[in-house]
Each structure stands twice: as C-alpha cells, then as structure tokens.
Chains A and B, each alone.
Chain A
C-alpha cells in the first residue's frame, strides 16, 4: 500500500501549486489594490502620545517616531513598491522581447552585434547601470523603474533569444516558412506564443530581483520622497531609531523578504522546477 502511494506522489508534487507562496502574493496584491481593507488605520495619521511603540495588538508592527501605525504604512506602501517593480518589469520585458526576437529570428550580423552589446552589459553589475541611469534621469518612482528595468534587460534578452532560437529550429516553424508566410507573421503568430511559458517563469523570477533592486535604490534615497510610504524608504527612515526601535527596520524587511521568496517559489513552479532563483 505504501509503495503504491509513494511512487505516483513524486510527479504530482513537482507540478503542485505552491499555495503558501500564492497566498502571500495574493495578500500583498490585495494590499496594493485595496490597502484600506487590510489596514484600516490611516498611514499618515500622527499621534504623539503613541510614539515608537513596540508591536502590540493595537499596532501590529508598532509605531514610528511620529506615532504613525507602521503596519498601515507597510500595507499602503505595497502599492508604490509593487507598481514601481511592475513598471520596471514592463520596461525590461518590452525591450528585451524586441531585442530577443530580432536577434534570435533575424540572426546574422545583427544578432552578433546585439548579443555582443548584451554580453558586455550582462557583465556589468546591474546596480552600476541603475545608478548611471538614475544619474541621467534624476530621482523618483518612474525614473527608478526605468533605471531598474533597463538594468535587467541584458539577462532577459539573452533568455528570450535562446527561446526564439530553440523554437525557430522546430519543424512547424520550418513548415510555416515553407508555406511562404511573412517573417513578422511567423515571429508573432508561431514563435512568440510558444516562448510564452519560459518567459512567464523568468518574469516571476526576474520580478523578484527587480523588487530587490527597487527597494535597494529606494533605500539609498533615489525613489519616492519620504512622507509617502514605500518599503525601501520605510526601512531607510527606520534607521534613525535603529538602536531603540528595531521593528521600524526589521518588520518592513520581513514583508519584503516574504514577497521575494514567494516570487521565487512561484517562478520555480511555473518553470517546472528547472529554473532556480540563483
């Protein structure tokens, strides 16, 4: 009995839905869409009688130096953090799809030139690229999204190209070519849909990296301006009371780590367990 149940359990486990990770993502998504539902307290309401309180039932994450409820600020910060990260992902995805499709499908000298450029950029630390772009564009959430998004184009474009190459070599693409279909039509109708799966999995993993980069740059002070809550920002602000109020830096970070790990988990599940976060 035990042998018959344990053998088929293995393939099922591999494709199992990561419920915990999905729940974390759903919760953070809800926080971004409707923060009032999760944290009814006003994230900007100051209360000088409740300054720097440790976490309690009334204030789940404690309060900051102005008596603002930290839990509420973290929940309301989810929108800025996620929106910036998703915008960055959109930039990265759009540009790298374009580069990957062009290079992978057209091949030849264009492919070699694009990939040489991508290789050089890939070699550079993405933080350096982001900092250079921040220098050029200035600070702010949108500028930050562009900086982080562009910095992750090289890695993305490489994978897109590899996918396009793999699919282009398959018989049905050859058949489509044999029928005399136009190149752009083959590319958009036959190659791109088949590349969707791996690219989706990569997107989830890349989004995790992007969330980390956005929070790091925002921690350095290149993102949203202080009164508005954002996770990297909240952690940076909490440093002022680091010695006495550990929760100001620790708890927003815990939420951030949960999001990143959940994205890793979902990305791995989408990729069929092949792709790892590192």
Chain B
C-alpha cells in the first residue's frame, strides 16, 4: 500500500518545469507520453522477469501435461519451444512480443493451450464487477469519513477518527476478508459464503477489497483538508461571517479535493491487483485468481497479459485524472494558458 502514499508522484515535477510559456496542449501531450512510458516500462519489466530467467516453462508444461502419458522426448521439447518461439535470442523475442502485443495478439496460454484473450475474457467480467463495486464503496466512504474527521480539527471527534485509517491499514487484506466472511456469512448468515450471484454475493468481497483502499484515501484527504483549513482565505471567509458548513463544503473541501483525485487515479491499479487476494479469499473466479494460478504454473503469456492489462488500466486512469486537472483546477488552466492569449 505504501507506494500510493508517498507524495513523490510524477505529476507535480513536470508541471513545475512547464511554468512559463507552455500551452495546455503541451501539457496534455506530455501526459500522453507518460502513459506510453509507463506501459512500455511495465512491459519491459514483465518481459525480463518472465522470459529472461533460466526457468523453463515448456519443460514444466510438458511435465504437467504428459504426466502418465509416457513422458516427453527431447525432440518434442524442441518442437514445442520452437512453436512458442522460446528458442530464439532474447532481444529478438522482446521486439517481436512487443509488436504482437501492439497488434492485439496476446499469444497462447502455456497451461491450457487456449488463446490468452479467450482466457482473459472468461475471467474479466466478474473481476470488473468486483473492482467497480469496491471503488463504488471506497470513494463515498472515504470522502464521508474524511469530511467527518476533519470537521473540527483538534476536536474530540478528530482525535478519535484520525486513527481509523491507520487501524484499517494495519489489518492484512486477506485476514479482513476472512473476518468479514466469518462474521457475516457464518455467524450472522447475512451473505452467502461462496459463489453467491448478484449483489448479495458481491457485497462482502467488494467491502473487503474496498476497506484498505478507503484507509489510504481517507488518510490523504484528511491531511489535505486539515492543511487547507489553515490557509488564510478560510480565516477571511470566517471573518466575513459565512456559516462554517458553507465554508467547509464549498471552499475547504473543493480545495482539498485535488490530491484526493490524484490518489484515486493511483488506486485503480491497486484495486485491480488487490483482487488477487480478495478472489482467493472468497473463492471467486476472476483475473486475480487467474494471475495467482498463472504465477504458480509458470504460464508466462497469461501473466504478461494481465500485467499489461493492469498497466494500461492504471495508466489510463492516471491519464484521465491528469486531463481532468485543468478542468478541476482553474489555476492550472490560467497559468498554462495565460501566456498564449
């Protein structure tokens, strides 16, 4: 979780460099470039880890497939290696795999022998539903919790509630899921334990996936709300006699929203990968379970495809947030567009 918490994300740094004389278009172009860089970096990292190491996926696959069927001959091994393109030098395969990915060809699963898109398509809908439900819980919950916490900084409520995110962040996600399952399925019998369809089956896994994310989002929003409240304009508004709830919701919250929106973009990837644990705990089929089992069976094409999917979704979410910035923050619009009237 820590990776989302460090303030040093790439957004602010380029923005600082861009100050004089660069237009909005250059900003947008640069963010799109960042998108491409992230996806390419993830591809490179994944490819090196998945293919450059001396483990032999083909031998492993043959071992598994032909256990009992007379074993495997060296010739068959070579033929299979050639079929999957594992006999050629690494840089060549790097370029070729990249080219294939760009044209949408994700390859064939070592494990099942089926095309990877087919394997992914079978698993994706339930994971998308889970991740969407988790975000639908996490966003309002963290906003509400943070707004309640920061209502009166230094108040008793603040002192108590400010510890809630830290407490939730200290609980392992998988154990939290098991705990929810134990309490709500086995003790109270409110929700089905496994395989429930529709909203009732989705509620617990979504909550288990949402809570750790909520903790991070809340902590950042509270910090940002507390900081904005110390700004001079808040004092001025108070002095002008505006009621506090109006100042808080219309002025403080609006200004505090920016880091929150940034972080929401960053958490989308985390939620997607978090399904590895949630789906295992709740025994749901989906991309997360698929990734976990593909790692176990050394099914490199499937792992690569899921890593790329996570990277694209993550980078797209960040791009969307970056494109949203000028809309959300008029200061950014004015500063960058101002030199070109």
Contacts and interface: CB of A to CB of B under 8 A. Distances in A.
Interface string A111-152: 000001101111111111101111111110000000000001
A213 B331 CA distance: 40
A249 B182 contact: yes
B178 interface: yes
Contact of A208 (B8, B170, B269, B291): B170
Contacts of A221: 296
B30 interface: no
Given A128-B310, A135-B298, A278-B215, A209 B2 contact: yes
A138 B55 contact: yes
Nearest to A252: B175
Given A128-B273, A128-B307, A239 B8 contact: no
A252 B199 CA distance: 31
B37 interface: yes
A19 interface: no
Contacts of B291: 131
B108 interface: no
Contacts of A18: none
A209 B300 CA distance: 28
Given A242-B186, A257-B171, A135 B50 contact: yes
Contact of B280 (A119, A131, A220): A220
Contacts, number: 167
Contacts of A220: 276-277, 280, 292
Nearest to A277: B166
A235 B6 contact: no
A155 interface: yes
B10 to A, nearest CB: 4
Contacts of B49: 132-133, 135-136
A123 B314 CA distance: 8
A257 B9 contact: no
A26 B67 CA distance: 50
For chain A, give the interface size range.
35 or more
A221 B295 CA distance: 11
B29 interface: no
Contacts of A138: 55
Contacts of B292: 131, 220
B269 A125 contact: yes
Interface string B260-297: 00000010011011101100100000000001100110
A200 B170 CA distance: 19
A134 B9 CA distance: 26
Contacts of A120: 10, 37-38, 41-42
B266 A123 contact: yes
A121 B2 CA distance: 12
B181 interface: yes
Contacts of B9: 119, 122-123
A172 interface: no
Contacts of A154: 3
Contacts of B41: 117, 120-121
A132 B292 CA distance: 10
Main secondary structure of the interface of A (DSSP, over half): helix
A209 B38 contact: no
Given A135-B50, A278-B219, A124 B311 contact: yes
Contacts of B277: 127, 216, 219-220
B167 interface: yes
A83 interface: no
B38 A123 contact: yes
Interface in B18-43: 37-38, 41-42
Interface string B31-64: 0000001100110011001101101000000000
A127 B129 CA distance: 21
Interface string A233-270: 00100010011001001100100110011001000000
A205 B186 CA distance: 34
A235 B165 CA distance: 24
Contacts of B269: 123-125, 128
Interface centre among B2, B42, B178, B295 (most CB of A within 10 A): B2
B2 A126 contact: yes
Contact of B173 (A128, A134, A216, A242): A216
Contacts of A135: 49-50, 295, 298, 300, 303
B169 interface: yes
A120 B38 CA distance: 6
A159 interface: yes
A50 interface: no
A243 B189 CA distance: 11
Contact of B175 (A158, A205, A243, A256): A256
Contacts of A212: 1, 172-173
Q: Which of B53, B174, B266 has the most CB of A within 10 A?
A: B174
Contacts of B204: none
A249 B185 CA distance: 15
B127 interface: no
A276 interface: yes
A53 interface: no
Most buried by B among A124, A135, A216, A276: A135
21 contacts: A120-B37, A121-B41, A123-B10, A126-B1, A127-B273, A127-B274, A128-B273, A131-B292, A135-B300, A155-B5, A219-B174, A219-B280, A220-B277, A220-B292, A243-B193, A253-B172, A253-B175, A257-B171, A257-B175, A276-B166, A277-B169
Given A250-B178, A278-B166, 5 more contacts: A131-B303, A154-B3, A155-B6, A250-B182, A260-B172
Q: Which 9 A-B residue pairs are closest in the complex by CB-CB distance?
A: A253-B175, A278-B219, A125-B273, A260-B170, A136-B49, A120-B41, A119-B10, A261-B170, A132-B49
